[in-house]
Chains A and B, each alone.
Chain A
Amino acid sequence: MNDDKPLLDIENLQVRFATRTGTFEAVRGISFTLGRERLGIVGESGSGKSMTGRAILRLIRSPGTIEADRMALHGEDLLSVPEKRMRQLRGGKISMIMQDPKFSLNPVMSVGQQMVEALRTHESVSKAEARARAIAMLEEVSIRDPERVYDLFPHEVSGGMGQRIMIAMMLLPNPEVLIADEPTSALDVSVQLQVLDIMDRLVRERGMGLIFISHDLNLVAKFCDRIVIMYAGRIVEVCKASELRNASHPYTLGLLNSVPDLEHPRERLEVLQRDPAWREAPSVSART
């Protein structure tokens, strides 16, 4: 790819919530770029991973607010574009697979209907073609018997199926940037590998940019190019995925050591001993 300008360019992003007990800062000034690459965001629960993803799509609900010095997609300023344009971009150029699949699926519409509807808001294709593409995409994410699943309602599918349906739905319009929030957390390992393979192909063949949010460090290390490690709304460390094993921040090491390992069992798992200094350290930039 000869254009090495980043797809996404984000500088000093902040997300705040007004609460009864004062302002809560969920994201505290992070900066990163996304090229045609697989960028992993890892970090403990509550560290601000999802809010970062949602902020990019301007999907932070009131009383939350978003601020940034820059938040641009292909140079287009996402902070100032009207909501109407944002709706076009969302689900078209930038898609997000939400952390909870069932919560994001419409409970009173069949799986197929929603996929077709979602595709047709972004592309003018016939119903028949949309249906064919939806079924093909369900098949691609290894859903057995896609024709049956096409007609099921969200409460009739298993956890892992719901997750793959969301993935299929978000990939249908060929987004340029895909934000995948814990997209494979409910999948068994072999299906997980297949789903990662599809995303990988889209990055390599179509030059898609992928933000892969996960708390599974082993997975991210295997699958991504670059990794951003978040703690308390800031970035504490950035590294190449292949160099995660050489990570130095005690928080990152703590996360690595708390994973239960089938081959090396321990009586008790290690848990993080948090140091107050981690919160205060300035955010590391992940702009390239």
Chain B
Amino acid sequence: MSAITIRNLNVWFGAGAERSDAVKDVSFDVAEGESFGLVGESGSGKSTILRAIEGIAPNWSGHVSIAGEVLGKRRSRQFYRNVQMVFQDPYASLHPRQTVDRVLSEVMGLHGFTDIDSRIGRLLDDVGLGSGFRFRYPHQLSGGQRQRVAIARALAPEPRILLLDEPTSALDVSVQAEILNLLADLRAEHNLTYVMVSHDLGVVGHLCERIAVMKSAEIVEVLGVGEMRKLEANDPYTRHLLESSIHSVR
């Protein structure tokens, strides 16, 4: 069964003459346990697609179904537990007056977990933050440390699907490697499904089997990671993107 099915998705902001289309006629499927990447131009609608899946896009049309549940106006409780999102922006996504401990216990309380105390310890270890960070506030954390908290929060309800919006772009390369290894392990252990947005093709190539390339609110091409590595792209924008990303130091 496919975990995510999207057909002819449109998302727009404003109305009438003010209307601007953020996502135009987008369709794709993600199989259960698959990891699907979204790359492309800044402002092309990648984050907006994730928001539409999560149900926080204001105006949309088309068909979206998640784990068999067709999305309408109302979503089941199960949906909210099953689908978790890690946002692009680790600053805005954490409440400034809540400690790490409070953020994590609140989510777990909300989803009915009881052994919260030991789970928090494990989660913090999982994302590479020791227990020393447990009672800190967001302003006492570096950018990368905040993003690790955001990932811990998304993992807390044990979701089936993770929507990852540039999950490592605020992280240094070593922590990024830890997080990518962690995401790979979690996926293998729990058969998680990922949709990951990243502008870093190395990152997407490491974690994803298939990649959709976006430009001006549309998907211009979907390609497998193998084709991507061999720079076998049909669309000129995809080729341009691939060519600008392949010069590393070593």
Hey, which bits of chain A sit against chain B, CB under 8 A?
A: 17, 19, 21, 43-47, 50, 61, 99-100, 102-103, 144, 148, 156-161, 164, 182, 185-193, 215-218, 221-222, 244-245, 254-263, 265, 268-272
Centre residue among B20, B199, B240 by max chain A CB count within 10 A: B199
Contact A186 B88 (CB under 8 A): yes
Q: Do A186 and B143 form a contact, CB below 8 Å, given A43-B172, A103-B91, A216-B173?
A: no
Centre residue among A100, A254, A262 by max chain B CB count within 10 A: A262
Interface status of B176 (Cβ within 8 A of chain A): yes
Q: Which of B47, B91, B242, B244 contacts A100 (CB 8 A)?
A: B91
What interface size band does chain B fall in? 35 or more
Binary flags per residue of B229-250, CB closer than 8 Å to A gives 1, else 0: 1000000000011101111111
Contact B181 A271 (CB under 8 A): yes
Contact B173 A187 (CB under 8 A): no
For residue B39, which residues in chain A have a CB less than 8 angstroms away from its CB?
A: 188
- A271 to B176 alpha-carbon distance, docked (Å): 9
Contact B249 A217 (CB under 8 A): yes
Hey, which bits of chain B sit against chain A, CB under 8 A?
A: 13, 20, 39-43, 47, 88-92, 132, 139-140, 142-145, 165-166, 169-178, 180-181, 184, 199-203, 205-206, 228-229, 240-242, 244-250
Contact A189 B41 (CB under 8 A): no
User: Which 8 residue pairs of A and B lie closest in terms of their CB atoms, listed nearest first?
Assistant: A45-B144, A160-B42, A215-B172, A269-B177, A258-B177, A260-B206, A260-B202, A188-B199
A-B contact count (CB 8 A): 154
Contact B205 A262 (CB under 8 A): yes
- A61 to B143 alpha-carbon distance, docked (Å): 16
- A280 to B139 alpha-carbon distance, docked (Å): 27
Contact A100 B143 (CB under 8 A): yes
Contact A159 B170 (CB under 8 A): no
- A192 to B39 alpha-carbon distance, docked (Å): 14
Closest to B237 in A: A190
For residue A148, which residues in chain B have a CB less than 8 angstroms away from its CB?
A: 20
- A269 to B176 alpha-carbon distance, docked (Å): 9
Q: Can you offer 27 A-B residue contacts whose CB atoms are under 8 A?
A: A21-B132, A45-B142, A100-B91, A102-B89, A102-B91, A156-B13, A159-B89, A160-B43, A182-B170, A187-B199, A189-B244, A189-B245, A191-B42, A217-B249, A218-B247, A254-B174, A255-B172, A256-B250, A257-B250, A258-B176, A259-B248, A260-B176, A260-B177, A260-B203, A262-B205, A269-B206, A270-B177
- A256 to B247 alpha-carbon distance, docked (Å): 13
- A47 to B173 alpha-carbon distance, docked (Å): 13
Closest to B87 in A: A159
Nearest-neighbour CB distance to chain A for B219, whole angstroms, equals: 15
Contact A265 B42 (CB under 8 A): no
Contact A258 B92 (CB under 8 A): no
- A221 to B145 alpha-carbon distance, docked (Å): 25
Contact A258 B229 (CB under 8 A): no
Centre residue among B20, B92, B172, B241 by max chain A CB count within 10 A: B172
Q: Which of A45, A158, A188, A271 contacts B145 (CB 8 A)?
A: A45
Contact A261 B202 (CB under 8 A): yes
For residue A160, which residues in chain B have a CB less than 8 angstroms away from its CB?
A: 42-43, 199
Nearest-neighbour CB distance to chain A for B239, whole angstroms, equals: 11
Q: A45-B142, A222-B247 are in contact. List 16 more A-B contacts (CB 8 A).
A: A44-B175, A47-B172, A99-B143, A100-B92, A103-B92, A159-B166, A182-B170, A188-B39, A188-B241, A189-B201, A215-B144, A255-B174, A257-B250, A262-B202, A268-B184, A271-B181
